[in-house]
Every structure is written in C-alpha cells, then in structure tokens.
Amino acid sequence: MPNPYDIGTAKLLVSLGFEALATTSAGFAFTRGLPDGGVPFDQRIAHAKELAASVPVPVSADLEKGKGDSAESAGETVFAAEAAGLAGCSIEDHTGDPSAPIYEFTHAIERVQAAVEAARAFSHDFILTARAENLLWGGPLDDTIRRLVAFEQAGADVLFAPGLDMDGVREVQRAVTKPLNVIAQPSMRLDELAELGVRRISVGSKLANAAFAAVRSAAREMRDAGTFTFAGDAMGFNELQDLFAPDPLTRA
C-alpha cells in the first residue's frame, strides 16, 4: 500500500494497479517546505480528503497523533477521517514533543480505545491502524511489542511500528495476531515479508524522498555540468498529459 504525497502521484500509482493507498504526513510536509510534524491537523485532513476524492481506491491517512493529546481527540480524529471520505487512518503514540516524545503507556491505550470506539460507530468498515513510535526515539523493542499487544487488545484493526528490521518483524509477528503493517526498508523484499506473515507494506515518505533526490540530482547536473541528460529518464510530457486527462465520458 504505497504512499503518494499529492494527487498526481496518487493517480499514477492507481494507474499502475495498486488497489489501496495511504497518505504520508512527512511526504506531504516536505512538499510544503515543512518538516514532518509541521503541518497543522486541519491542513493534513484537507489534503487527505482531496487525495481520497481523486482516486477510485480506498485511502488510509497518516494523521500523526490526531487532533490533540486526549483520548477524546483520538475519537474526534477518526470521525474527521471518515467524514473526509477515508477508508481508514492511523493513530500514533508520538506526542510531537521532543522532550517527551511518547505517550505514557496507559494513556496511549486509552487513545486507541477511544479511536476504536469511534470507528465502530460507523455502519461500514473503517480500518483503524494503531502505531507504536518508540523505536524511532531510541526505545526498546520489548516496549514496542508491549504496546502493540495492548493496542491489539484494545481493538485496533492493524498494528504498526515504524523502524522495525526483519528480526523485529519476526518478534512482533510472534506476539500479535492482528495484521502488521511494515514500512519497507531497502534491504527488505516483499516475498520475504509475506513469508513472515506481514499483511500490509507501506513506504512512508520514501516516494517523496526519491522525487526530491531526482530533482536534486538534475539540479546538480544543470549547475555543475551544464548538461540535461536527466531529461532522458523523465516521464514523457504526453504520457503525463494522457494520465491526467479527464475521462472523455465525464468531460463537460
């Protein structure tokens, strides 16, 4: 389930056959010239709504910690996500405060419980992903597993711990029964993750990172060499025109 960072990349991914997408908070922030965590919630939900409306496949949203710190705000986040036309969203236990980056264990569980209660209020499926973020802040794997097990018991549909390596994936898979989402790393392979029982793979901001890397490489070539060979590897103008052209049957 790859992570587009704008409407164009969402449509491109769908054209290549991907059947579900997820937003990337970091990738979107980078396109706005902001760091991850630097986009206010109302702008993140508006971006997710716009992206979901642009494609005919389910879209889940990376909404970071949600609307606020309280358990009630986690539930409100889920209601906002569903109203935006999303098929699911994630709630994480990262506070956004570098001095105290991870919510206390009990409070983190209460937030997931409130989000689950909100998701179950709908008459249709809404997939709630609960994220344990402590690995990204130097936390131990045993606390990650403790949190994911608690989030599973609280009713989350999917479990997610950014920063897992293959050994970590194995340990988590032994501890939980709900589907696990893994952010792919360069050394990982889809078939190997599938053999471990991983049910969902995302790439976080990596598509956005790759796009920025391509622009940086092209810019350095223009500046330093005065050449433009990068254009030979670019998608063609007509190819993109055709991809984004309105459907003739729906054109006014």
CATH of the domain at 29: 3.20.20.60
Residue-level pLDDT at 247: 66
Question: Residue 233 domain-assigned?
Answer: no
Average pLDDT (79-93) is: 98
Q: Across the strands, what pairs with 91?
A: 130
Cβ contacts of residue 235 below 8 Å, gap of 6+?
none
Question: Residue 27 domain-assigned?
Answer: yes
32: domain range?
7-204
Tokens of 128: 């709630």
Question: Residue 240 domain-assigned?
Answer: no
Question: Residue 147 domain-assigned?
Answer: yes
Q: Do 157 and 133 form a contact (C-beta atoms < 8 A)?
A: no
pLDDT in tens, 130-175: 999 999 999 999 999 999 999 999 999 999 999 999 999 999 999 9
Q: How many domains does the chain have?
A: 1
Question: Residue 226 domain-assigned?
Answer: no
Residue-level pLDDT at 246: 80
By C-alpha distance, which of 189, 184, 130 is closest to 161? 130
Tokens of 28: 């979107």
Question: Residue 228 domain-assigned?
Answer: no
pLDDT in tens, 166-214: 999 999 999 999 999 999 999 999 999 999 999 999 999 999 999 999 9
Dihedral over Cα of 40, 89, 91, 109: its sign:
positive
Q: How many angstroms from the chain centroid is the CA of residue 95?
A: 17
Q: Name the residue type at position 106.
A: T
Question: Residue 105 domain-assigned?
Answer: yes
| Dist CA 57 CA 36 (whole Å) | 25
Cβ contacts of residue 123 below 8 Å, gap of 6+?
none
pLDDT in tens, 106-131: 999 999 999 999 999 999 999 999 99
Q: Is the predicted pLDDT of residue 252 greater than 50, yes or no?
A: no
By C-alpha distance, which of 59, 64, 48 is closest to 87? 59
Whole-structure pTM value? 0.93
Question: Residue 248 domain-assigned?
Answer: no
| Dist CA 227 CA 220 (whole Å) | 10
| Average confidence score pLDDT of the chain | 96
pLDDT in tens, 211-250: 999 999 999 999 999 999 999 999 999 999 999 998 644 4
Q: Do 67 and 38 form a contact (C-beta atoms < 8 A)?
A: no
